[in-house]
Amino acid sequence: MTATAESADCRILTVERQLTAVIPASVRMEKMPETQRSLRFKLAAVLPALGAGPVGPTFTLWRPPVDGVFNMEPGVIVSRSFAPKGDVVASALPAGRVAHFQLVGPYDGLPRAWAALLAWCAARKLKLAGVNWEIYRDGDDDALQPETSLYALLA
């Protein structure tokens, strides 16, 4: 799907809470990609020692910026909670009604995809809760392009 606000591309879903392992951070927009890579590397090194069970896809939860700074939680979905280890803490993706957009293609399409999803919400007068996240699924043999699921929690 392309990053447009066509109604076929955006929809409202109900999602369940998902346990996660994260490293919280506060960063400026221009530092987000670099910070995500660095924190994912740290998380990958600690993950086997957490006892968090089988892991799922990676994600980033974020809140709208305040004074140009995003509060974000890059992490991985896990199957059970765990005790903190260093910077890695247990968290969760929230349950509830969300606006959803599925981006198929390179990650450089994320800004347009988010703009499309948020414009779709605004056009429908949907009230946002201020919690957003992206779940990443890299391409494999069957899907050569990465897929990113975008979620905006509704109030």
Task: Give the pLDDT band (50/70/90) at residue 1.
Answer: very low
Given 93, 110, 133, the domain boundary residue is 93
pTM reported for the whole predicted model: 0.89
- Same domain for 47 and 110, yes or no, is no
- Residue 142: what pLDDT? 57
- Same domain for 84 and 136, yes or no, is no
56: domain range?
A: 18-93
Quick check: 117 pLDDT over 90?
yes
Given 43, 64, 93, the domain boundary residue is 93
- Same domain for 66 and 109, yes or no, is no
Query: What tokens were used for 59?
Result: 């994600």
Please, which residues bridge with residue 126 across strands? none
- Residue 57: what pLDDT? 94
- Same domain for 111 and 69, yes or no, is no
Query: What tokens were used for 57?
Result: 């896809």
- Same domain for 84 and 99, yes or no, is no
- Same domain for 39 and 87, yes or no, is yes
Please, which residues bridge with residue 135 across strands? 59, 149
Given 72, 93, 114, the domain boundary residue is 93
- Residue 107: what pLDDT? 86
Q: Count structural domains, the chain.
A: 2
Task: Give the pLDDT band (50/70/90) at residue 61.
Answer: very high
Q: Tell me which amino acid residue 52 is.
A: A
- Residue 88: what pLDDT? 96
Across 73-85, average pLDDT:
95
Show Cβ contacts of residue 63 under 8 Å, excluding neighbours closer than 6 positions.
Answer: 70, 71, 72, 130, 131, 132
Choice between 8 and 89, residue whose per-residue pLDDT is larger: 89
The model's pLDDT over 7-55, given as tens digits with 9 standing for 90+, comes to 458 999 999 999 999 999 999 989 988 999 999 999 999 999 998 988 8
Quick check: 146 pLDDT over 60?
yes
Quick check: 4 pLDDT over 80?
no
